[in-house]
């Protein structure tokens, strides 16, 4: 398993670093931080939050995860669990989980960084057609994230870190969909008056 991990990880790293843009310091630093955050997620939920067994059911227990198993970074399911927590706040079975905290932490961290660097700004859409493209893209991404059981972070980073076949298939489909969408956007730009 270690050899397969090294081979897969080394191959992906070589493929990514073949691009000059990927070797810029800020890109390398960002990639390292995201990768370390995924590893930290597995460590926190799988090691620190692991209890050998539940005293009543004798099942293996992981604290503060919605799945009851070790989890790492994801956005699709935690957003749904956040809405569920807000809707059913009086239900004692609902609790803040690792996924909810990490998803909300990304939003809070991005807002804090934007405010600290004075780069926060309100943006909008160019025209109604641009708004409709974003709405359609958001719907497709939401449906795809639920259908694929994860997004680019959940399947593409956390899932691939476990060498899961489903994550490889999903990530390949995400990359193909992104490439096709970029081609479509470029085609639309060339047709614009």
In sequence order, what DSSP letters do the residues of 89-120 get, joined into one string? TT-TT----HHHHHHHHHHHHHHHHHHHTT--
* Lowest mean per-residue pLDDT among 8-12, 34-38, 59-63, 153-157: 59-63
Asked if 66 and 79 sit in the same domain, the reply is no
Query: Over pLDDT 70: what percentage of the chain?
Result: 99
Average pLDDT over residues 14-25: 90
pLDDT on residue 187: 92
Asked if 134 and 187 sit in the same domain, the reply is yes
Q: What predicted TM-score, i.e. pTM, was given to this entire model?
A: 0.78
Average pLDDT over all residues of the chain: 89
Asked if 115 and 142 sit in the same domain, the reply is no
pLDDT on residue 132: 92
Asked if 14 and 60 sit in the same domain, the reply is yes
Asked if 24 and 8 sit in the same domain, the reply is yes
Average pLDDT over residues 31-58: 87
Asked if 141 and 158 sit in the same domain, the reply is yes
Asked if 144 and 80 sit in the same domain, the reply is no
What is the residue range of 153's domain? 126-193
In the chain, the number of structural domains is 3
Average pLDDT over residues 121-141: 90
Do residues 158 and 150 touch, judged by C-beta distance below 8 A?
Answer: yes
Give the pLDDT band (50/70/90) at residue 36. very high
Q: Is pLDDT above 90 for 135? A: yes
Asked if 172 and 139 sit in the same domain, the reply is yes
Handedness of CA 15, 145, 85, 60 (dihedral sign): negative
Do residues 154 and 148 touch, judged by C-beta distance below 8 A?
Answer: no
Give the pLDDT band (50/70/90) at residue 50. confident
pLDDT on residue 14: 92
Domain boundary at 44, 71, 98, which?
Answer: 71
Asked if 26 and 87 sit in the same domain, the reply is no
CA-angle at 38, arms to 20 and 181, nearest 5° = 55
Distance in angstroms (rounded) separating the CA atoms of residues 112 and 103:
14
Asked if 113 and 156 sit in the same domain, the reply is no
Asked if 31 and 56 sit in the same domain, the reply is yes
Q: Is pLDDT above 90 for 98? A: yes
pLDDT in tens, 67-78: 888 899 999 999
Asked if 66 and 4 sit in the same domain, the reply is yes
């Amino acid at each position: 398993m270690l050899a397969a991990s090294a081979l897969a990880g080394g191959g992906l790293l070589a493929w990514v670093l073949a691009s000059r843009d990927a070797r810029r310091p800020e890109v390398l630093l960002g990639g390292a931080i995201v990768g370390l955050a995924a590893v930290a997620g597995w460590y926190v939920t799988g090691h620190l939050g692991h209890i050998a067994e539940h005293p009543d059911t004798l099942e293996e227990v992981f604290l503060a995860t919605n799945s009851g198993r070790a989890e790492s970074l994801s956005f699709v399911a935690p957003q749904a669990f956040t809405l569920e927590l807000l809707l059913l706040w009086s239900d004692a079975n609902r609790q803040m989980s690792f996924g909810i905290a990490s998803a909300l932490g990304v939003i809070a961290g991005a807002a804090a960084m934007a405010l600290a660097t004075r780069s926060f700004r309100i943006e909008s859409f160019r025209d109604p057609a641009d708004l409709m493209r974003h709405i359609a893209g958001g719907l497709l991404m939401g449906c795809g994230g639920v259908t694929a059981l994860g997004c680019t972070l959940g399947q593409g980073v956390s899932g691939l870190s476990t060498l899961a076949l489903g994550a490889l298939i999903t990530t390949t489909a995400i990359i193909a969909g992104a490439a096709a969408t970029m081609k479509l956007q470029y085609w639309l730009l060339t047709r614009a008056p």
